[in-house]
Amino acid sequence: MVINKELLEKRKKISQHRPKFVRQESWRYDRLAENWRKPKGKDNKMRLQVSGVPQLVKVGYRGPKIARGLHPSGYVDNLVYNINDLLSLDSKKDAVRIGHIVGKLKKKQIVTKAAELGLKVLNPGKDSTLQNKSQIKENE
């Protein structure tokens, strides 16, 4: 079930026009990865934004403000560490992502409480009992 479909489509449309930002000279040397690094040299062509050189990352390429932070399912992603964090969430627009440091026992408690409240859990875990409870709520 996808909510906020129009926001996700707007975000996708803007990201299609965004250039692929690459690290300078990454196409030239195999030892350099393509992931973005800001050019800092004194005579750096990329920093000077010379024509014919890849684009710099700028604030104008950002996505729409209302679509930022949305999970691909359209829900607002909320990090949860205990059961009390679930009480302030809205089941129609919020989804739960359980924190990395949460143990197995508390994770099980969070998933069952989220199922009672009708919240979608984005990472229920590999345990079959946890997955079943989250799937039951999705089917309803």
* pLDDT single digits (tens) 95-136: 999 999 999 999 999 999 999 999 999 999 887 565 656 566
100 located within any domain? yes
CA atoms of 80 and 75, how far apart (whole Å): 15
Is 87 part of a structural domain of the chain?
yes
Please report, for residues 99, 120, 124, 140, the alpha-carbon distance to residue 136 in angstroms, rounded to integers and kept in the order given: 22, 11, 12, 7
Domain residues for the domain of 98 are 76-139
This model's pTM is above 0.95: no
Report how far residue 112's alpha carbon sits from residue 127's, in angstroms, rounded to the nearest whole number: 13
Q: Is residue 66 part of a domain?
A: no
Give yes or no for residue 20 having a pLDDT over 70. yes
- Measured from the Cβ of residue 86, the count of other Cβ atoms closer than 10 Å reads 20
- Number of domains observed in the structure of the chain: 1
